[in-house]
A and B are shown apart, each in its own frame.
Chain A
Amino acid sequence: AAGVIQSPRHLIKEKRETATLKCYPIPRHDTVYWYQQGPGQDPQFLISFYEKMQSDKGSIPDRFSAQQFSDYHSELNMSSLELGDSALYFCASSWGAITPGANVLTFGAGSRLTVL
């Protein structure tokens, strides 16, 4: 079965540079979530999109932005990178919001960002 695809898997950037992460959800999934997991920490919710509209916002810095495109893939743009942005960034997708609890999130393998 198709899974959530994230690219790139690994990314190394310098401070103050810009990075873009991509997420391709499971086919027919219309909701995308972004999470940030720092070293030894639990995943922290950043932002989500439902049907190409932002549906919820968490602890996403103002330097970050994201969007969901017409084909439902999503991109997370990070600017003015800081050392503290080094983390594993997960994307997850789900289908609809009709049945609470049945809306299981499927996670991608993550994109590991290292800021030097």
Chain B
Amino acid sequence: AQSVTQLGSHVSVSEGALVLLRCNYSSSVPPYLFWYVQYPNQGLQLLLKYTSAATLVKGINGFEAEFKKSETSFHLTKPSAHMSDAAEYFCAVSDMRDSSYKLIFGSGTRLLVRP
């Protein structure tokens, strides 16, 4: 069964610093991986997705993630953090059964951005 593990429930960075949120996956088949962001009291918004095309995926708001099969990782990065990036970030893997491609989420990482 597919699963993802997010290392670090909280990550704190200074404004302007590099953001690195870690995600490792476990999958018996080539995975489809996603990063979602959740702002307080809001729904889940797709940041980016990996669907077996380019290994470096660029998303919205300056985020990108690199799929590394050898490391079973899909870490999310952003060169320079903004205050508005403070939110909860979820890594997810697509688990297919019949016609349902439900997502299995990691436990989430809360990003704190210090002024």
Contact = CB atoms under 8 A, between A and B. Distances in A.
A42 B105 contact: yes
Contact of A109 (B43, B52, B96, B108): B43
Interface residues of A, number: 30
B61 interface: no
A55 B97 contact: yes
Contacts of B99: 31, 50-51, 55, 96-97
Contact of A94 (B101, B106, B108): B101
A104 B44 CA distance: 12
Q: Is the interface of B mostly helix, strand, loop or mixed?
A: strand
A58 interface: yes
Given A101-B51, A101-B52, A109-B42, A42 B107 contact: yes
Nearest to B91: A42
Contacts of A103: 94, 101
A39 B24 CA distance: 23
Given A104-B46, A107-B45, A97 B108 contact: no
Interface in B38-72: 42-46, 49-52
A109 B43 CA distance: 4
A110 interface: yes
Contacts of A107: 36, 43-45
B104 A45 contact: yes
A42 B108 contact: yes
Given A101-B32, A103-B94, A45 B46 contact: no
23 contacts: A31-B100, A41-B107, A42-B105, A42-B108, A43-B44, A44-B105, A50-B98, A55-B97, A55-B100, A56-B102, A58-B102, A97-B96, A97-B98, A97-B99, A100-B94, A101-B50, A101-B52, A101-B101, A104-B46, A105-B46, A105-B101, A107-B45, A110-B43
